[in-house]
Amino acid sequence: MRRSIKAAVAAVACTLAALAFNDPAEAASAPKCGLNTGKAATGAPISIGGIVGRTGPADFSSSGDAAAAYFKCVNENGGINGRPIEYTLEDDAWKPEQAAQAAAKLVTDKKVVALVGSNSFVECAANQATYEKNEVLVVAGVGIPRDCFFGRNYSSTNAGPRLSNLGAVQYMHGKFGIKSVVCVAPNIPGVGDFSCDGVKAWGASKGVAVNVILIDPAAIDMTSIVLQAMSFKPDLIEASLPRDGVIALLKAAEDQDLGSKVKFAAPTSVYNLEFPKTIGPYWDNKVYAQLELEPFDKQSPDMLNWYAVLDKYASKNVQRDTFNQAGYLAARWIVEVMLTMDPAKIDRTSVTAALRGMKSGLQSDIACGPWYFGPGNRHNPNHAGSVAVTSGEKWVTQQSCFGVDDPDLADVLATEKELGIRK
Partner 1 sequence: MIVPNLGPFVVSGLATGAVYALSAVAIVILFRASGVVNLAQGAIGALSAIIAWQIGNSGGPPWIGWIAGVIAAMAVSLAYGRLLAPRVAHSDPVVRAVATLGLALVLLGVMDFFWGEYGRVLRLPTDSLGVRILDVRVTYTRLIALGLTCLVTVGTIFFLGWTRMGLAMRALANRRDISAMLGVPVLTVDSWAWAMSGLIAGVSGILLANLARMQPLFLTFMVIPVIAAAIAGRVQSLGIAVAGGLAIGVIEAIGTPFPSVAPYRTLTPFVFAIVALVFLQRHGHPLISGGAGLGADDVRSGAPAGSPRHRALVGVAAGVATALVVALAVPEIASSYWLRVLTASAILALGSLATAIIYAQLGMVSLCQFALVGVGGWVALRSWHAIHWPFEMSLLCGGVGAALLGLIFGLPALRMRGLYLALVTLMIAGGFQVVITAIDFPDGGAGFIGKIYNGPRQYMDRPGLATTDAAYFRYCLGALVIGYLFVLWHQRSRAGRAWAMIRRSEACALSASVNIVAYKIWAFALAGFLAGICGGLLAGLIGTLDLTSFPASESVLLFAVTLIGGAYSWLGPILAGLLLRAVPGLLNDWHIDGNIATIVFGAGLLHALITAPGGVAGQILDTVGRIKVFARQVRREKAV
Triad 158, 59, 254: Cα angle to 5°: 90
155-184 residues near partner 1, rule: CB under 8 A: none
Closest separation between CB of residue 360 and partner 1, Å? 26
Closest separation between CB of residue 55 and partner 1, Å? 3
Q: Which is nearer to partner 1, 44 or 227 (CB)?
A: 227
The end-to-end CA distance of the chain, in Å, is 55
Q: Which is nearer to partner 1, 160 or 242 (CB)?
A: 242
Residue in 115, 122, 181, 237 binding partner 1, rule: CB under 8 A: 122
Q: 3-10 — which CB contacts under 8 Å span 24+ positions?
A: 6/315, 6/316, 6/317, 7/316, 7/317, 9/317, 10/315, 10/316, 10/317
16-75 residues near partner 1, rule: CB under 8 A: 54-59
Query: Across the beta sheet with 263-266, what order do the strands follow?
Result: 209-215, 180-186, 236-239, 263-266, 287-291, 384-391, 394-403
User: Is residue 150 at the binding interface for partner 1, with CB under 8 A as the rule?
Assistant: yes
| Contacting range for partner 1; rule: CB under 8 A; set: 166-174, 255-263, 295-303, 393-401 | 255-263
User: Is residue 251 at the binding interface for partner 1, with CB under 8 A as the rule?
Assistant: yes
126-145 residues near partner 1, rule: CB under 8 A: 126, 128-129
User: Is residue 257 at the binding interface for partner 1, with CB under 8 A as the rule?
Assistant: yes
Residue in 16, 23, 82, 190 binding partner 1, rule: CB under 8 A: 190
Q: Which is nearer to partner 1, 159 or 229 (CB)?
A: 229
User: Which of helix, strand or coil describes residue 386?
Assistant: strand
Residue in 65, 76, 147, 292 binding partner 1, rule: CB under 8 A: 147
Residue count, binding to partner 1 (CB under 8 A): 78
Closest separation between CB of residue 401 and partner 1, Å? 27
Four-residue CA torsion sign, 371, 378, 90, 79: positive
Nearest to 46 by CA among 326, 327, 348, 331: 348
User: Is residue 195 at the binding interface for partner 1, with CB under 8 A as the rule?
Assistant: no
Closest separation between CB of residue 273 and partner 1, Å? 12
Distances, alpha carbon 34 to alpha carbons 112, 139, 270, 338, 352, in Å: 19, 17, 31, 10, 20
Residue in 10, 19, 93, 389 binding partner 1, rule: CB under 8 A: 93
User: Is residue 347 at the binding interface for partner 1, with CB under 8 A as the rule?
Assistant: no
Residue in 135, 221, 336, 418 binding partner 1, rule: CB under 8 A: 221
User: Is residue 86 at the binding interface for partner 1, with CB under 8 A as the rule?
Assistant: no
300-339 residues near partner 1, rule: CB under 8 A: none
Contacts of 176 (CB under 8 A, 6+ apart): 235, 236, 263
The span from the CA of 241 to the CA of 195, in Å, is 9
Q: Which is nearer to partner 1, 66 or 354 (CB)?
A: 66
User: Is residue 217 at the binding interface for partner 1, with CB under 8 A as the rule?
Assistant: yes
Q: Which is nearer to partner 1, 152 or 422 (CB)?
A: 152
Q: 214-220 — which CB contacts under 8 Å span 24+ positions?
A: 214/185, 214/186, 214/187, 215/184, 215/185, 215/186, 215/187, 215/241, 216/186, 216/187, 217/57, 217/186, 217/187, 217/188, 217/245
Q: Which is nearer to partner 1, 133 or 417 (CB)?
A: 133
Q: Which is nearer to partner 1, 56 or 370 (CB)?
A: 56
Helix axes 192-206 and 161-176, enclosed angle (nearest 10)? 30
| Contacting range for partner 1; rule: CB under 8 A; set: 42-50, 214-222, 290-298, 348-356 | 214-222
Closest separation between CB of residue 295 and partner 1, Å? 20
Contacts of 194 (CB under 8 A, 6+ apart): 145, 146, 161, 162
- Inter-residue contact 64 to 327 (CB < 8 Å): yes
User: Is residue 384 at the binding interface for partner 1, with CB under 8 A as the rule?
Assistant: no
Residue in 179, 348, 378, 422 binding partner 1, rule: CB under 8 A: 378
Q: Could you list the beta-strand ranges (E) of 340-393.
A: 384-391
User: Is residue 224 at the binding interface for partner 1, with CB under 8 A as the rule?
Assistant: yes
394-413 residues near partner 1, rule: CB under 8 A: 408
Residue in 73, 115, 181, 279 binding partner 1, rule: CB under 8 A: 279
Nearest to 101 by CA among 116, 86, 122: 122
